Amino acid sequence: MHEGCTVYQTTQYLTKKWALLVLFELYKGGDDYTRRFSELKESLAGITSKVLSQRLKELEEEGLVGRRVDAEHFPVKSEYFLTEAGLGLIDVIKHLKQWALTYKIDNIDCGNQNCKDCIL
């Protein structure tokens, strides 16, 4: 087993609380996979600013999420979006969904392979 393997590291920050949900919330963000901080916070019922901020920072450092800030005006406007790598990871999780549909009979299948709501 190689030291510091990327896959293992990936699983470590992806499985922190809210991380996957944040990713999927961006995925649901329309054609550009973009959401604002406040939108994410509203959609993810129960998440605190602190944790949302932490997760976004981690995901950004890992290259899964990008960030655009408009500091020209007030209030500041900042947008988060899925990068190509982040989008690629969504595909991996779709494989995981297929696995779950095969071996975990209690899983709910909405019938739509690309459903963005029940991919998780």
SS (H, E, C) the chain: CCCCCHHHHHHHHHCCCCHHHHHHHHHCCCCCCEEEHHHHHHHCCCCCHHHHHHHHHHHHHCCCEEEEEECCCCCCEEEEEECHHHHHHHHHHHHHHHHHHHHCCCCCCCCCCCCCCCCC
Q: Please, which residue, 10 or 54, has the CB nearer to DNA?
A: 54
Binding partner of 53, given DNA, its own copies, none, CB within 5-8 angstroms per partner class: DNA
Site for DNA in 68-87 (CB under 7 A): 75-80
Binding partner of 2, given its own copies, DNA, none, CB within 5-8 angstroms per partner class: its own copies
**Which residue in the set 10, 34, 43, 54 belongs to the binding site for DNA (CB under 7 A)?**
54
Residue ranges binding DNA (CB under 7 A): 16-18, 36-39, 46-51, 53-54, 56-57, 75-80
